[in-house]
């Protein structure tokens, strides 16, 4: 069974909703539950920098305790977050997305990173596109914008 859940605002309510759905599937005799999370609300909080602030280490084990067998994330902010989970985690969709955009053959594709933390992921995406671009390099142009 695949359960799709995004943790948009309010993150805490969506997380509890996910846990209730996992529990319901488990009680309905689902043999395996894979949680698919396009956006993980606590992904940018990979460490506690202030007291009484929710973080990925504190919220990650909840899916396992509710009964999930595996988690699939579109893109975690930091790879070390997968270590906070007690279940197997797949955390990168970039190869799938690169393949998809390569098939589209968009003539003017530009990869944009919303913040400095995503620059490396944006560069990887642009370089792996392996298409001849109008510029002198073989990768798509990349751009970053300040927060």
Residues whose CB falls within 8 Å of the CB of residue 12, separated by 6 or more in sequence, listed in order: 54
DSSP 31: S
Euclidean distance between CA atoms 44 and 77, whole angstroms:
6
Q: In this predicted structure, what is the pLDDT of residue 45?
A: 62
pLDDT beneath 50: ranges in the chain: 132-138
Among 62, 86, 47, smallest CA distance to 12 is for: 62
Q: Say what the pLDDT of residue 31 is.
A: 95
The confidence score (pLDDT) of residue 78 equals 72
139 within 8 A of 145, measured Cβ to Cβ: no
């Amino acid at each position: 069974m695949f359960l799709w859940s995004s943790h948009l605002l309010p993150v805490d309510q969506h997380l509890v909703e996910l846990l209730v759905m996992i529990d319901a599937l488990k009680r309905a005799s689902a043999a395996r539950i894979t949680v698919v999370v396009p956006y993980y609300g606590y992904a940018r909080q990979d460490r506690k920098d202030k007291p009484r602030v929710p973080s990925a280490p504190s919220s990650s084990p909840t899916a396992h305790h509710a009964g999930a067998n595996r988690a699939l994330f579109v893109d975690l902010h930091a790879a070390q977050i997968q270590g906070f989970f007690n279940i197997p985690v797949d955390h990168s969709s970039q190869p799938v997305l690169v393949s998809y955009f390569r098939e589209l053959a968009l003539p003017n594709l530009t990869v944009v990173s919303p913040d400095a933390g995503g620059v490396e992921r944006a560069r990887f995406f642009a370089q792996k596109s392996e298409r001849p671009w109008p510029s002198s390099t073989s990768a798509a142009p990349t751009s970053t914008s300040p927060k």
